[in-house]
Amino acid sequence: MASISLKDVNKVYPNGVHAVIDFNMEIADQEFIIFVGPSGCGKTTTLRMIAGLEDITSGELRIDGKYMNDVEPKDRDIAMVFQNYALYPHLTVYDNMAFGLKLHKVPRKEIDRAVREAARILDLTELLNRKPKALSGGQKQRVAMGRAIVRKPKVFLMDEPLSNLDAKLRVQMRAEIAKLHQRLGTTIIYVTHDQTEAMTLGTRIVVMKDGVVQQIDSPQNLYEKPCNLFVAGFMGSPQMNFLDATVRISGARAFLELEGQSIPLPEEKAKPLIDGEWDGRSVILGIRPEDIFEKKESFAFGNQGFDFQVTCDVYELLGAEVFLYFELGSSAVTARVESDTRVRPGDKLTVSFDIDKIHIFDKDTEEAIAN
Ligand code: ATP
């Protein structure tokens, strides 16, 4: 078990790439931290610096308060699980799991106890005598996890551990990892491209872009209160819709002008615009697909809604829900509506925006003004 502290951590590779810029974070014992961000944003580099596989150019890494920058990887008490789990093909599952402990000259009895305990936790007991080629992808992945947990490390680092698995196995292994975390209580840092993994596994998510941390927050806060346009667009699928709008302030009220209409804003969204003297300035309105409703005859909206007449371009049925795509002014917009919708491509419909759920961003800085 371990806390991890990163202070002003930077990585500049010998070729001059500044891969990680002023990374600051305090990770508490037993947290499950997720790193997300587009390819090349510095997730793996940060993980490798924590593991000791990559030098830290400047800044400080501490584990349980102890300065770690110069400590050898093998002395950091960290286990890393990669996406290519690289099991030894000529060794059995048992020997693959025992391998690291044998290298560390752990007594045979202790090794046996640790391997059998890990096998029990990961449901591998029946497979201990098999060679990797006789295992499914998910079983191989569990052996790779087993190899890491027998060492009882303080910290687990996982770099896209499930990316080689098919969709069904990913879901199964995701649940396994969540259980493993609850059972072992080890601090975990986990890199993924998968939104669902990030949202469901993480106690906190770190969103990175171009080597810079954009926001560190709980999954719910990231989704509901993104700090800028990038985070808002990155978290959520289909992604948040963005529309150009102009602010109008009249006395104690604020409006967003959009496609010839003037949307009155609820008080808490209006306040930062009034306080910041935003009258006449350009902003970006953000609204998630699930906050746009198809207005049917029986439609009753509890919250403040605002309507637009649009024409459906594309209809996508995903079983329990439907995505409707349409244009609003010059922007393409997606709405997630109920699966019983009768709307099909070419049909006209009225959509209603839930104004309580909109986000407003500064068009120049792209920072959030109201969430
Ligand atoms: P991905 O999601 O594609 O794995 P990532 O977020 O993990 O990406 P990193 O692998 O950390 O990104 O790379 C960050 C930046 O550093 C990229 O611009 C990459 O090209 C560069 N980089 C990574 N490793 C090296 C290296 N050994 N030498 C030079 N530049 C590197």
CA of 33 relative to ligand 1 center, distance in Å: 20
Q: Please write the tens of the pLDDT for every residue from 121-142.
A: 888 999 999 999 999 888 888 8
Q: Please write the tens of the pLDDT for every residue from 155-203.
A: 999 998 888 777 887 888 888 889 889 888 899 999 998 888 999 999 9
Measured distance CA(230)–CA(339) in Å, rounded? 30
- Atom nearest to 54 CA in ligand 1: 27
Does residue 17 line the site of ligand 1, with CB under 6 A?
yes
Q: Which of 13, 15, 18 to mutate to test the pocket of ligand 1 (most atoms within 8 A of CB)?
A: 13
Q: Please write the tens of the pLDDT for every residue from 56-86.
A: 999 999 999 999 999 999 889 898 887 767 7
Does residue 36 line the site of ligand 1, with CB under 6 A?
no
Give 338's Cβ-side CA count (13 Å radius).
8
Does residue 55 line the site of ligand 1, with CB under 6 A?
no
Residue with the nearest Cα to atom 18 of ligand 1? Answer: 40
Provide CB contacts within 8 A for 242, sequence distance 6+: 229, 232, 233, 284, 285, 286, 331, 361
CA of 46 relative to ligand 1 center, distance in Å: 10
Provide CB contacts within 8 A for 356, sequence distance 6+: 266, 303, 304
Mean pLDDT of 80-97: 87
Give 103's Cβ-side CA count (13 Å radius).
10
> Mean pLDDT for the chain?
92
